Amino acid sequence: MAKKTIADIDVKGKKVLMRVDFNVPLDEDRKITSDARIVAALPTIQMILDNGGSVILMSHLGRPKGQRKAEFSLEPVAKRLGELLGQEVIFATDCIGRKVNQKVTALKPGDCLLLENVRFHQEEEIKDKKAAEDESLRKMKDEFARQIAMLGDVYVDDAFGTAHRDNASMYTVPAMMEGKDRVIGFLIEKELKFLGDALNNPQKPFAAILGGAKISDKLNVIENLISKVDRIIIGGAMAYTFFKAQGRKIGKSLCEDDFIEKAKELLETTKAKGCELVLPVDDVIASEFKANAENKVEAGDIPDGWQGLDIGPESIKLFVEKLKGAKTVVWNGPMGVFEMEPFDKGTKAVANAVADATDAGAISIIGGGDSASAIKKMGLTHRVSHVSTGGGASLEFMEGKKFKCLEILDDK
């Protein structure tokens, strides 16, 4: 997907409308607990400002569901962004309307304006499918998008975290800016490079590590990866669906019974196509789902009344061994309930193994979400090649899905 970037166009004297992902975590006092998403957008913002453009930023925050709610205001983000840029960030209390238009008109080269949460308007999240079925919804979405589109001379998409959604600010707005420059920012360029290269031109051996609770969440990813990777390492609760498919007893472990037949198919398909599917050989099981619950290691069937909450020590050894020598590693999903001790050991061990593989020369990509949280929590971000900013988006990318909000942007 060779798209034009902000570096390919002249922004001098232009008002640049830029979609970012400032969906940052806030505490009860509305203080930002992690500014990583703001920091990730800085290179693109700074480039525009340094080259004589003014920038109009738009983002969502949380799920206000079309209502104006103070706890979802982007005002704290404007303050933090100003501190990071070392200049005032003008804040608009809405994203459309007369007052917003006045602020945009008054922008001078080098100015930065942040619009209020686009999800305060229900039109932002009207699905294209529903809009196609209901003309009144289509008109609402189009009018909302038109008012935003008229603010900018240039459109920049640097919000990978929402690249898989057909929100108005992600797709309808750039669709209405046909004839103007429509490009990607440096953050999305980096995401497309790492994820695209891994899937389409990987250095071999290529190992994928998939975890998390549900096989249904990763089913399409597994099917797309079978012909691309040398081995798929499975951890987390999704492993228990595979175990049940093999006829093993799993106690009261989480299992998606509707996907047992599909798990059987995947076991056969991976074998037929020469892709090694690596499952845990032991588990840390507990009598109840809570931190520091009574637990033990079980290498065989899981007894009734017990549930698997992490991979066991022998599985850790196996997984670490299977990652040695890998030249490309993709990881998405924890190995256990990593938020609770002592069921965080498997995820921590895999995180360290991925970092070690990177030190040994592998390209490593962490697919956002819980895996990204684990890497950051352990202070290993600097020891992996790329941490994706989009959990759901990176998953859909690995499924081989096309992102129409990127496809309509200008090609190189």
Structure tokens at 58: 């738009």
Q: What is the pLDDT of residues 367-403, one digit of tens each?
A: 867 888 889 889 999 999 999 888 788 888 888 888 9
Q: Is residue 403 part of a domain?
A: no
Q: Do residues 111 and 60 share a domain? A: yes
Q: Is residue 10 part of a domain?
A: yes
User: pLDDT above 70 covers what percent of the chain?
Assistant: 100
- Say if residue 307's pLDDT is above 90: yes
Q: Do residues 175 and 227 share a domain? A: no
Q: Do residues 163 and 240 share a domain? A: no
Q: Do residues 258 and 361 share a domain? A: yes
* From 97-101, 175-179, 211-215, the region with the lowest mean pLDDT: 211-215
Residue partners of 376: CB distance under 8 A and separation at least 6: 36, 387
Q: Do residues 315 and 358 share a domain? A: yes
Which pTM does this prediction carry?
A: 0.87
Q: Do residues 104 and 204 share a domain? A: no
Q: Which of 153, 187, 221 is the last residue of a domain?
A: 187
Q: What is the pLDDT of residues 222-277, one digit of tens each?
A: 999 999 999 999 999 999 999 999 999 999 999 999 999 999 999 999 999 999 99
Q: Do residues 33 and 99 share a domain? A: yes
- Say if residue 22's pLDDT is above 70: yes
- In angstroms, rounded to a whole number, what is the distance separating the alpha carbons of residues 12 and 110? 9
Contact 318, 278 (CB under 8 A): yes
Q: Do residues 280 and 141 share a domain? A: no
Q: Is residue 51 part of a domain?
A: yes
Amino acid at 275: C
Q: Is residue 408 part of a domain?
A: no
The rounded mean pLDDT for the chain is 94
Q: Do residues 210 and 351 share a domain? A: yes
pLDDT at 397: 87
Contact 23, 389 (CB under 8 A): no
- The tally of domains found in the chain comes to 2
Phi, psi at 26, each rounded to 5°: -125, 145
pLDDT at 109: 98
* Buried b / exposed e along 335-368 (16+ C-beta atoms within 10 A): bbbbebeebbbbbbbbbebbbbbbeeebbbbbbb
Q: What is the pLDDT of residues 274-287, one digit of tens each?
A: 999 999 999 999 99
- Say if residue 303's pLDDT is above 70: yes
Q: Is residue 50 part of a domain?
A: yes
Segments forming the whole domain that contains residue 386:
194-398
pLDDT at 392: 81
Q: Do residues 387 and 244 share a domain? A: yes
Q: Do residues 319 and 180 share a domain? A: no
The catalytic residues are 37, 214, 369, 392
Helices (H), 51-122: 75-85, 98-105
Q: Do residues 177 and 311 share a domain? A: no
- In angstroms, rounded to a whole number, what is the distance separating the alpha carbons of residues 93 and 214? 40
pLDDT at 1: 58
Give Cα 61 to chain centroid, integer Å. 15
Q: Is residue 404 part of a domain?
A: no
Q: Which of 187, 217, 246 is the last residue of a domain?
A: 187
Q: Which of 187, 217, 239 is the last residue of a domain?
A: 187
Terminal-residue alpha carbon distance, the chain: 9
- In angstroms, rounded to a whole number, what is the distance separating the alpha carbons of residues 195 and 228? 13
Q: Assign 3-state DSSP to the chain and report helix, strand, coil percentages, each to 5.
A: 45, 15, 40
> What's the CATH code of the domain at 390?
3.40.50.1260
